[in-house]
Amino acid sequence: MWPGRMQSELPAPRTRVPPCMDGGDFGDFIVGQDRVSSADGEIRQMKTYALGIAVAALLAAFWASPTVIEIAAGVAIFLFGMLMLEEGFRQLGGGHLERLLGAATRSTPRALLFGVVSTTLLQSSSLVSVVTISFLSAGLISLLGGIGIVFGANIGTTTGAWIVAGLGLKVNIAAYAMPMIAVSVLMVFQKAPVPRGIGYVLAGIGFLFLGIHYMKIGFEAFRGHIDLEAFALPGLLGLVVYTAIGTLATVIMQSSHATMVLILTALAAGQITYDNAIALAIGANVGTTVTAIIGAIGANFQGRRLALAHLIFNLATAAVALIFVAQLREIVDVLAGWFGIGAEDYALKLAVFHTVFNVLGVALMLPLLNRLVRLLERRIPEPVPDISRPRYLTASADAFPETAETALRNEVLHLYDNATKLILHGLNLHRSDVLGASDIDAVVRASRTPIDLDIGDGYERRVKTLYAAILDFATRARGRDISPKIAARIDALRDIAGALVRSVKSVKHIRKNVARYATRDLGAETDLYDALRADVARIVIAIRDLGLEPSADRSALWLDQEAAEIEAKARARTARVGDLVRSGAVSAGAATSFLNDASYADSAMRELVTAALAYDAPVDDAESEVEQLLALDDEELSEAIGAEGSDGAAAVTPVSQAPARLRVAGRSGTRKWD
């Protein structure tokens, strides 16, 4: 199951957990959480101050010039349209985003194309960058694929400038906006996700058009009161100042596309010069990286690497554009002549410039892509894992249902790794010895050196902490509007984590007697405990071997075989203990104590098997139904074991009495690891 797949089948690099139980102190975890909370509090405080300053500045502008209201309203409507567009594609995406991203990032050209198309549809390179950081942090895509998407997003964002310059400033798009908004309202109130999503998309496009219309009207009215062209700055000073203004405007609005719409409408109204508009466009490209940097605050090291790549790319592109601005203007003039763009049509020429310098940036950076990845890996190294802390449950992974589910699956793997180590150490066995054994009975007999372990402390630090984080994360994920399939899989993963926790608790109960009888040869009692330890070790090995099988060969029917063996061994063990008591080899008190411990060990094995089945449940619903039909029920399981229960048998609970969700939970992501 999990250990075999964790190293080779996941699409993105994984943090390997060291074979020892040593990890960070729980106190360090609490201190780290406090630092994160403190940083989040400072960021929230800064945002509050920035919001207050922005509102005050806006009110002052309204008081100084009533025409500013129309421009501000246009920007607000435009940004609201972007939010509606985002929500629409989120509704339409369903659970397909994961598969789409996996296919789109198999090669750099595909990743570039995905970045271009997704940004063209969403009209927001910042949003695409933040989404990509979330998916990268969750391990759904590789760093190289994420960088390709960001590069493509920079090209895709130029389509917005073409739409505004070629259509929005020349056609009365408000006439199209109103019917779209009216139709969208009817569709948004539908319960089905597809028409609801289409309604949001229509509303988003309608509000985008309406926002452009109001900005255009506002700047035309503004021209009658104040001539901003009087503040134009020529030469190098103008480039530097207006680049900074473009950067600041994008940081405030969190959208380079909104900034470009403002620039284009102001340029078309004659409020700014063409030269200053070029500098503003370059600055807007730099400012859009701030959104990605903010989005990376809650991401893991991979998300921070991508945010840094975004910053490096946009800064390098801006530097090249500023240095060679004269040459780029000449190229734009040549291209404008080819496409029949008028010499005085500065809005369309700015759209050409915006496209040229973004495409140039991608062309310059693509040959350096592998070097960029190596630089990022050096500057932001993979942290040494602390196995007591959640590794995948980051704030960015919680942003989307698909990333939340994948992060939860990976964290359950992390919990399984910690749980099996603790279980084997509780049985005085080293996992490396168990998994590398050709003769497990010999390994168990040779494991007499006591392992210094406080299993209660280990449970609190290595298992309970992760389980609490998984429960909290799953509860928050379930609290959002997600599809029933994803909700069911999140519930199943939460229950798998519970099964792992219960398996560790069961071993906690037998640790004391294992330490007494397994660390020295005390005759028949030691033989009994050695056999019990070997049975648990075989389950761990079987789960490992199952994970090494190709996904197509994994079957839920494996559970019945393992369950039958557990029950058969429990009956045989009880009969053997009875024989030893009758022969005088074992006292009645020792036999009773062992049978109690054996029932706890059987419970731990059942929980591990149940968790393994739920995690590797078939993807195909038809396949799952067939396996349910073929699966043995409790009566058939007893017949397969072939023995009636004896009075002295240890109490056992059939595995099929475990929650049905754990036995047959479907999982859309298992096949993606093929």
Question: In this structure, what DSSP letter does residue 397 have?
Answer: G
334/416 same-domain check: no
Q: What is the pLDDT of residues 91-117, one digit of tens each?
A: 665 556 556 666 777 788 888 888 888
* Domain range enclosing 118: 65-379
Residues 328 and 420 in one domain: no
Domain annotation covers residue 41: no
Check: CB of residue 119 under 8 Å from CB of residue 128: yes
Q: What is the pLDDT of residue 231?
A: 56
Q: Which helix (H) or strand (E) element contains residue 81?
A: helix 68-93
Residue 466 clears pLDDT 60, i.e. is over it: yes
User: Is the pLDDT higher at 610 or at 555?
Assistant: 610
Does some domain include residue 257?
yes
Q: Is residue 316 domain-shared with residue 365, that is, in the same domain?
A: yes
In a domain, 554, yes or no: yes
**d(Cα 325, Cα 337) in Å, to the nearest integer?**
18
Q: Answer whether residue 331 shows pLDDT above 80.
A: yes
pLDDT (tens digit, 9 = 90+) per residue, 213-222? 777 676 666 5
Q: Does residue 18 lie in a domain region? A: no
Q: Which of 325, 350, 379 is the last residue of a domain?
A: 379
**What is the Rg, in whole angstroms, of the alpha carbon atoms belonging to the chain?**
31
Domain end (from 319, 350, 379) = 379
Which pairs count as long-range contacts for 567-572, CB under 8 Å and 24+ apart, including other chains?
Answer: 567/637, 567/638, 567/641, 567/652, 567/654, 568/641, 568/642, 568/643, 569/535, 570/598, 570/599, 570/602, 570/649, 570/650, 570/652, 571/641, 571/643, 571/645, 571/646, 571/649
Q: How confident is the model at residue 555 (pLDDT cuts 50, 70, 90)?
A: low
Assigned domain for 17 exists: no
pLDDT at 6: 39
Phi, psi (rounded to 5 degrees) for 138? -80, -5
Q: Do 325 and 421 lie in a common domain?
A: no
Report whether 306 contacts 111 (CB < 8 A).
no
In a domain, 251, yes or no: yes
Mean pLDDT of 377-386: 78
**How many structural domains does the chain have?**
2
- Based on the domain organization, do 509 and 562 belong to the same domain? yes
Counting residues of the chain whose pLDDT is more than 70, the rounded percentage is 70
Q: What's the token pair of residue 465?
A: 């902490």
588 and 537 co-located in one domain: yes
515 shares a domain with 368: no
> Average pLDDT in the 430-451 region?
89
515 and 374 part of one domain = no
Contact predicate 21/424, CB 8 Å: no
Residues 359 and 406 in one domain: no
Please write the tens of the pLDDT for every residue from 482-520: 778 888 889 999 999 999 999 999 999 999 999 999 888
CATH number at residue 506: 1.20.58
> Which of 344, 379, 414 is the endpoint of a domain?
379
* 56 within a domain of the structure (yes/no): no
How far is it, in rounded angstroms, from Cα 578 to Cα 590? Answer: 12
* pLDDT, tens only, 352-372: 998 998 898 899 888 888 899
> 71 with 194, same domain?
yes
Q: How does pLDDT run across 197-217, given as a tens digit for each residue?
A: 888 888 887 887 787 677 767
pTM here?
A: 0.62
Q: Yes or no: say if 510 and 518 are a contact pair by the CB < 8 Å rule.
A: no
In this structure, are 537 and 620 located in the same domain? yes
Residue 513 in any domain: the answer is: yes
CB neighbourhood size of 666 (10 A): 17
Structure tokens at 292: 């990605």
Assign 13 a pLDDT band (cuts: 50, 70, 90): very low
Mark whether 154 and 205 lie in a shared domain. Answer: yes
Rounded mean pLDDT, 407-415 = 90
